[in-house]
Structure 1
């Protein structure tokens, strides 16, 4: 595998990324990786070094080994890419993804008619929205298909409350005494109201800056409506141990997606596509992510990806 460091322009900013190809590669289909939320770079790592997850580097390596050309890039304002991450909205990230598609279409090794968008977490929403601007040849939606941001955040808070209510001893008594669930819900509702009433890209809540534009555009966007417009083949996969995306939302897809669809809920797979056998516990989420960072992608996930891609692009595998 050869990794080429590339750059492309989007909305006046230079975005940088990595294009992975096999040696002596001929013109082939390409896969564009759209990452999840947060300021993680093209590999899936944060700037401070606390979360060295490498999830997108692992995905790129696996997909390239199958014979595909794979592009992953630092999102706007992250890593080596220009722009300001905090002031960017959801549609800014979608337009950046469309610019990445244009880069691939112009690359001499890429079959411009066969470009697949692979979205992970928030990237599943971006991939669906991208399809309204650039018709893709396929969509792969990992850890988040068929779910609005507001639904995901509501479930995440619920899982936090469940975990807190299961805390034992004096700490558990204190949690229940101070009605943390009710107080936190009140704060969350007040924050969302402030965000929706604002017209600023960034607002301050206490000492913290919030990317209000990003929240507003996500909360106003109905991904389910754009899922109805998809005509290309779709593969959607979520793990049953996912604490950030609800795997049950996969069951919405057959009634929404009119085109060819395959969807799977993988047993003992977490949000970062790794094997996770422990019970779901939102309070241990970050600890588990760091613990599993060096683990390979879930074997069943790789199997589904390979079979789905082989079915549609069998000449790549020959």
Structure 2
């Protein structure tokens, strides 16, 4: 749910084939995982160099341009700027393979590459739950406007075939700017969930977040309250559709979306028939982020004093934001945390680049509003039935703590169901540890038991 402070590691190497576009598949050996990628080398028009672009299916990256590309008979290297600041150099082993190293922040990671045939499919992680068209239901591209600020949003309305009108749900994504499928590490979480619901007779509306796809606006420049307004605008659209039953409308929110759903439901009153909260916070955004840092560091095996020091530095950043401290004071606090987390030997330019990025992130309109938003005051106003689920291995939104707070705050609803599901992580995948690096490695997108539980609960309350 919450934004993580991390750099994307991507690398490339290849042997040379002058005058032709070449595709290579490879992997970076990272601690505990392999990061797969492909790279395409394209000769410059003048024939004196190459451009290169990388795709990383696990991270939803496609065609990212690379810098300072050297691609000749003996050497391949390039530099990835931005937050990664990664330099890769390799040598050819033979015509169809190459080996090299990625150097980033004082660390070195091995890389292996294999040249792909021209007609080879794009490699990537297996996602066996991915629905395949044609679907046994109808899909409609829709647009609607948040009347509060005029931002236009685009999405997909999926409707069961047969007699209507049908119950419907709006799917609300977690934090960050996601597409309508909530694509994360190659998993299209909301497409999988939507497909299961629609096949059971429940229509769904899933939309691109602000600044993604055809949607206008920008998530960083938007308050949490305005994002809840986007959910209300989606409900307003559904009420105009003859195939949708306006008296059987609900909201399903994952992570931050589970914070937005009660906000929208509280304002809509009887206009919302039910809400489903998936890994939703029951505490303020600040409290969630503070607990998350501790849980993730402890799961990674960090020493107790390291965890305590990082927590102290994180709180200092939040304190300065809350006090309205000037930018240089906030920057000083951010730099202290970045330095504490940086690997030994990280150069000053790299550190300042990360500080710049994180300073910009914590000063956005969204971040400031998220920190202070307290779900309890919205949950107390919700009168409709509520289902709240969380996984026991969730390290981003602690299950027992947040489910307890949600249940305690729902004083105005007579139909509340909360369940902690054993062995599931923040994405509701069957996991071993619950750490973020597992999300990409696990082939399962959503545990089937979760799909069944959500669908059955909705049908009991909104079915015919």
TM-score by length of 2: 0.59
- Tell me the CA shift for residue 199 of structure 1: 9.8
Are residues 1:289 and 2:444 paired? Answer: no
Equivalent in the alignment of 2:321:
195
Q: Does 2:357 correspond to 1:221?
A: no
Q: Give the Å deviation of 1:235.
A: 0.5
Counterpart for residue 171 of structure 1: none
Structure 1 residue aligned with 2:410? 257
Unaligned runs of 5+ in 2: 1-136, 335-354
CA contact (8 A) 2:294 2:311 kept: no
| 1:34 paired residue number | 172
Name the CA distance, whole Å, in 2 between partners of 1:197 and 1:16: 37
Aligned 8 A contact 2:277 2:388 in 1: yes
Unaligned stretches of 5+ residues in structure 1: 168-174
Q: Following TM superposition, by how much is the alpha carbon of 1:123 offset from its aligned partner in structure 2, in angstroms?
A: 0.6
Q: How far 1:132 moved relative to its partner?
A: 2.3
Deviations 1:131-184 (A, max 9, x none): 1221211010011252332222122111233135x36xxxxxxx77xx533442
Q: C-alpha displacement at 1:198, in angstroms? A: 4.4
The answer to whether the aligner puts 1:19 opposite 2:157 as a matched pair is yes
Trace 1:157-176 onto structure 2 (pairs within 5 A).
157-164=293-300, 166=301
Cα distance in 2 for partners of 1:61, 1:153 equals: 32
Higher helix share: 1
Which of the two has higher C-alpha Rg?
A: 2
Q: After superposition, what is the alpha-carbon deviation per residue over 1:107-144, rounded to whole angstroms, capped at 9, x for unaligned? A: 12111121101110001110011112212110100112
Query: 1:108 aligned to 222, 236, 242, which one?
Result: 242
Shift of 1:296: 4.4
Please give the alpha-carbon distance, in whole angstroms, between the structure 2 residues aligned to 1:71 and 1:254: 27
- From 282, 299, 303, give the equivalent of 2:448: 299
Counterpart selection for 1:119 from 245, 248, 253? 253
SS in 2 for 1:6: strand
TM-superposition CA deviations, 1:222-258 (whole Å, max 9, x none): 2112211111000110011111111112123443323
Q: Which has the higher strand share?
A: 2
Question: Which of 282, 285, 289 is 1:153 aligned to?
Answer: 289
Q: Name the count of aligned residue pairs.
A: 293
Once residues 254 and 154 of structure 2 are traced to their aligned partners in structure 1, the CA distance between those partners, rounded to angstroms, is 19
Counterpart selection for 1:230 from 355, 359, 382: 382
Contact kept in structure 1, 2:189 and 2:445, CA below 8 Å: no
Matches within 5 A, 1:231-246: 231-246=383-398
